[in-house]
Amino acid sequence: MKIKVIVTLKNGVLDPQGKAIQQTLNGMNFNSVTEVRQGKFFEINVNEDNETKAKLNVEEMCKKLLANLVIEDYKII
């Protein structure tokens, strides 16, 4: 089973890459862009048929490795 995870920076945490991307987009005349936040996307194949169990397992992975909860939030989709 494939589980997808999105890790994003928490609100208020400085994201200089996102800022640089936003400024570049503005420079390319995408003037409506007011903010860009950059994150990470994971696709995880787990050998498990039960979706609830698989997601619980992935949640542990998020807490222990994939995200640093001081600065990041994770979403399992």
Partner 1 sequence: MKSSVIIFPGSNCDRDMDVALNKYGFKNQMVWHNDQFIPKSDLIVLPGGFSYGDYLRCGSIASKSKIIKSVVDFANSGGLVLGICNGFQILTETGLLPGILLQNKYLNFICKNVFVKVKDKKNKYFKNLKKDILELHIAHNEGNFFCTQQELKALEDNNQIAITYCDSDGLENNENNPNGAIKNIAGIFNKNKNVLGMMPHPERMIDNYLSGEDGSLFFENLLGNLR
- What residue ranges bind partner 1 (CB under 8 A)? 13-14, 16-17, 20, 65-66, 68, 70-71
Closer Cβ to partner 1, 17 or 50, answer by number? 17
CB of 52 to partner 1, least distance (A): 26
Which two structure tokens, joined as six digits, stand for 19?
Answer: 């800022």
Nearest of 61, 65, 17 to residue 39 by alpha carbon = 17
CB of 40 to partner 1, least distance (A): 8
CB 54 within 8 A of CB 2: no
Closer Cβ to partner 1, 54 or 66, answer by number? 66
14: how many CB neighbours lie within 10 A of its CB?
A: 9
